[in-house]
């Protein structure tokens, strides 16, 4: 049963916004583009696991995706997928990488074979093991009870092959298509319940309550002045910008698309890249509208929380991200 659905991370949403709001000829744009490709591939890998999770060996598994917690030393750790049962917990870390792969167990490194040798791809086994230890400590501190936690790296790309596998390695790593078999094996190793139904439900509620969404200040990270943010409403059909405001709708002069809500995505981009509050003046600059009254109607129609009156009104945009 899915208790926390899979969603795009704030970092991915922010980098997507950055790819729309930074000029494509900007010297930092290739870095944004590369990061976007990496994050999108990771998200596709996570999504690829969802079908195979429908083969869970028991109905009472509780599934939480993208859980991000703070450990006892104020360090944050985020897990792709957490599966909870009365007898154990399973952490899944997906890796969407292609090519001929080799896990160097002595050097603790994942390598990909290239024409000139090998390319280092980090160490997903150590990463998920570290998350396991952090979650064990977190559970001790927050629920006063521990359950066995098993960690697994899941290779989700069908074009990946594994070189030099060992018995010990294959207990830590599995291919996506073998995930149901691996979950069945793990489930069979823990026949005795440690948590009753009430304790399991309480643990799930606590985990969700303690989840802390990630943040990513893209302009600061890439040292791009905020003034280089590209204003204007982007056409949802052809991505031309800016759309023109007509009476009650937006018109794309490139493809003729008409939309009454295209400004919402522009406000979301502003939220992700600039800040979670906006004034009428800033909204006029953002949407490229000169009329105060037109922007006032747009902001009021969104039913945004507002503090202040008149020109001192400040609107909070947080609610837009839930739509």
Q: Do 42 and 117 belong together in one domain?
A: yes
Q: Specify whether 239 is located in the same domain as 123.
A: no
Give, in order, the Cα–Cα distances in Å from 111 to each of 129, 168, 176.
18, 18, 19
Shared-domain flag, residues 169 and 276: no
Task: Render pLDDT for 185-223 as a digit per residue (tens, 0 to 9).
Answer: 999 999 999 999 999 999 999 999 999 999 999 999 999
pTM of the prediction?
0.91
Residue 85's domain comprises 2-210
Whether the CB-CB separation of 6 and 66 falls below 8 Å is answered with yes
Stretches in the chain below the pLDDT threshold 50 = none
270 belongs to a structural domain: yes
Distance (Å, whole) CA 246 – CA 102: 58
Q: To which residue do tokens 């050097």 refer? A: 107
β-bridge partners, 235: none
Q: Is 143 a member of any domain?
A: yes
Distance CA(209)–CA(110), nearest Å, equals: 34
Domain match, 57 and 194 both: yes
Q: Are residues 11 and 136 in the same domain?
A: yes
Q: Which of 181, 210, 239 is the last residue of a domain?
A: 210
Whether 25 is covered by a domain: the verdict is yes
89, 169: one domain:
yes
In a domain, 226, yes or no: no
Together in a domain, 251 and 160 = no
74 and 137 in contact (C-beta within 8 Å)?
A: no
Q: Is the peptide bond before 152 cis (omega within 30 degrees of 0)?
A: no
Does a structural domain hold residue 55? yes
Place of tokens 């290739």: 30
User: Which of 210, 239, 270 is where one domain is finished?
Assistant: 210
Per-chain mean pLDDT for the chain: 94
Q: Is residue 219 part of a domain?
A: no
Q: Does some domain include residue 216?
A: no
Note whether 259 and 192 are same-domain residues.
no
Q: Are residues 237 and 153 in the same domain?
A: no
- Domain holding 296: CATH number? 1.10.10
Domain co-membership, 10 together with 119: yes
Q: Which residue has the tokens 């020109």?
A: 311
Q: Are residues 151 and 281 in the same domain?
A: no
Last residue of a domain, one of 160, 181, 210: 210
Q: What are phi and psi of 254, to 5 degrees?
A: -85, -50
Number of folded domains that form the chain: 2
Separation between Cα atoms, residue 272 and residue 256, nearest integer Å: 28
Residues 202 and 235 in one domain: no
235 near 257, Cβ under 8 Å? yes
- Report how far apart, in Å, the C-alpha atoms of 247 and of each of 107, 251, 258, 260 are: 64, 10, 11, 10
């Amino acid at each position: 049963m899915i208790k926390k659905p899979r969603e795009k991370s704030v970092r991915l949403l922010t980098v997507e916004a950055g790819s729309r709001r930074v000029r494509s000829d900007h010297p930092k744009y290739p870095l944004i583009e590369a990061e976007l490709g990496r994050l999108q591939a990771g998200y596709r890998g996570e999504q690829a696991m969802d079908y195979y999770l429908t083969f869970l060996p028991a109905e009472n598994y509780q599934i939480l995706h993208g859980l991000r917690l703070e450990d006892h030393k104020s360090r944050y750790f985020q897990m792709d997928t957490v599966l909870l049962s009365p007898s154990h917990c399973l952490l899944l870390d997906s890796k969407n990488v292609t090519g001929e792969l080799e896990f160097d167990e002595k050097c603790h490194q994942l390598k990909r074979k290239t024409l000139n040798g090998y390319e280092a791809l980090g160490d997903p086994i150590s990463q998920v093991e570290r998350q396991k230890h952090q979650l064990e400590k977190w559970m001790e501190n927050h629920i006063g009870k521990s359950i066995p936690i098993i960690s697994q790296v899941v290779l989700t790309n069908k074009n990946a092959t594994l070189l030099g596998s060992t018995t010990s390695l294959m207990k830590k790593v599995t291919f996506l298509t073998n995930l149901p078999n691996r979950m069945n094996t793990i489930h069979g190793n823990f026949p005795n319940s440690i948590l009753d139904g009430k304790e399991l439900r309480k643990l799930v509620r606590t985990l969700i309550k303690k989840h802390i969404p990630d943040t990513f200040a893209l302009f600061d990270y890439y040292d791009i002045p905020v003034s280089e943010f590209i204003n204007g409403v982007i056409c949802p059909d052809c991505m031309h910008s800016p759309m023109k405001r007509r009476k009650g709708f937006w018109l794309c002069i490139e493809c003729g698309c008409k939309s009454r809500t295209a400004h919402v995505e522009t406000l979301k981009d502003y939220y992700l890249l600039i800040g979670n509050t906006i004034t009428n003046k800033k909204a006029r600059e953002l949407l490229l509208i000169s009329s105060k009254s037109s922007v006032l109607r747009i902001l009021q129609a969104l039913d945004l929380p507002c503090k202040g009156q008149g020109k001192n009104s400040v609107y909070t945009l947080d609610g837009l991200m839930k739509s």
